[in-house]
Amino acid sequence: MKVNLIKLALDKIKIAKSTGKKVVFMIGSTAKQESEPFLSPLREYDDFCVLGCVVFDQSSLVDLLNKIDGLVDIILVDAEKKIPIHLGGASISDIVDLRTKDSDSLTIAPFETGNFSKLCFINIKKSLVFEYKPNDITVNAAWMFISQKLHFFSGKKISLIGLGNIGSKLALKLVECGADVHIYSRDYFKSHLITQALNLIKPIGTVASITCHREPLPATIASDVLIGSTNGYPVITDEIIASVNRECLIIDLGKNNLTKSAVQLCRDNDLEISRTDITNSIEAFVREILSLSFALEHDYGNKHIDGHLVVGGGFFGQEGSIVVDSISNPKWVFGVSDGAGALKTELSDIDKKGIKHISEFYGISG
């Protein structure tokens, strides 16, 4: 990693810290190899800031981690395996020399093929570290955007050009909501197998289906939504644009999916082109992480109080356990566990006494 990139990252972190809010740094990777790592935009929310970097090799990541550990509050690391291993020129003997001293480790070195999580959890000592799946954030952002633009999916024809990890997940979400999804990919055999799998996975009551096509035009004719989900190369041509509905929503999900002539044809015919903006999805995801982290520390668990077993925060209680919202500071008593993951529908006298005692113990009324 060039030193100037780390400097740019540190400069952005400084700006984020000047807001007085929590600073979240996202470390991503991508299957699309580029010549240099790059920074993602600084996003400011009500009570935290999010920024990050996309890197392509482990040695660059270690350099970055050494600089930001403790400087940011939270580090989110890409958990997805996307890229081949890069050791920055290290040889097999170098790997052996780097082998971990932890006798419980199942690997010979703190490196994983295309996965940076282990390096982060080994090297970060001060900041909090969590894994995340950026592709899933993108899929959720795209689905939410389409949902609010269409209002409902039932009966809509949605065309997907490209069927990688993101396209496959999005196709399943769309068909589950009643959209007729039509797919074209250059690798027909692979996309046909994926289509069969997705049609088997979708709920049995879902009438809508996913259809795989050998050519793009049958997949896109009269589409209500056209999505380009390839890995950054133009596949949506002006011929494809000419085949869709006059009010079709065009979405560039994978960057640079439209040819220049296709973009111009959209503009000439007032067809809306959108890029998938993950800003809102990132905010929701970070809030979920913070909320769950707090819940696991304060709400989740079980303990005995005056002979009564109390469980909270989703802890699976044994039969007769008193179920509350928080194990440390409960505000609500939900009922008594039946020992099978649900609440009893009929309470015994012992159950009622237990609820009364725990409610009085914590000062819970109602």
* 196-206 pLDDT per residue, tens: 999 999 999 99
Average pLDDT score, the chain: 89
Query: Which residues on adjacent β-strands are paired with residue 181?
Result: 158, 210
Say yes or no: 157 and 255 in one domain. yes
pLDDT in tens, 201-253: 999 999 999 999 999 999 999 999 999 998 778 999 999 999 999 999 999 99
Residue 113: per-residue pLDDT: 52
Say yes or no: 116 and 211 in one domain. no
Per the listing, tokens 């919202």 go with 325
Evaluate whether residue 338 is within a structural domain: yes
Say yes or no: 195 and 236 in one domain. yes
Say yes or no: 335 and 259 in one domain. no
Specify the number of domains making up the chain. 3
Identify the band that residue 315 occupies on the pLDDT scale cut at 50, 70 and 90.
Answer: very high
- pLDDT at position 90 over 50: no
The residue out of 227, 251, 279 marking a domain boundary is: 279
pLDDT in tens, 119-164: 889 889 999 999 999 999 999 999 999 999 999 999 999 999 999 8
Say yes or no: 152 and 227 in one domain. yes
Evaluate whether residue 288 is within a structural domain: no
Residue 219: per-residue pLDDT: 96
| CATH value at residue 141 | 3.40.50.720
Residue 110: per-residue pLDDT: 47
The residue out of 89, 108, 132 marking a domain boundary is: 132
Query: Which residues on adjacent β-strands are paired with residue 26?
Result: 52, 76
**From CA 252, how far away is CA 68, in angstroms rounded?**
33
Say yes or no: 142 and 260 in one domain. yes
Structural domain of 153: 135-279
Alpha helices in 124-228 (DSSP H): 134-150, 165-176, 188-201, 216-220
The angle, 0 to 180 degrees and rounded to 10, between the axes of the packed helices 58-68 and 3-17 is: 40
Say yes or no: 38 and 86 in one domain. yes
Residue 100: per-residue pLDDT: 44
pTM (2 d.p.): 0.84
The residue out of 132, 166, 198 marking a domain boundary is: 132
DSSP-based three-state secondary structure for 42: strand
Region of poorest pLDDT, from 26-40, 64-78, 151-165, 308-322: 26-40
Say yes or no: 179 and 249 in one domain. yes
Say yes or no: 238 and 302 in one domain. no
% of the chain at pLDDT higher than 90: 76
Task: Tell me the residue type at 155.
Answer: G
Say yes or no: 200 and 156 in one domain. yes
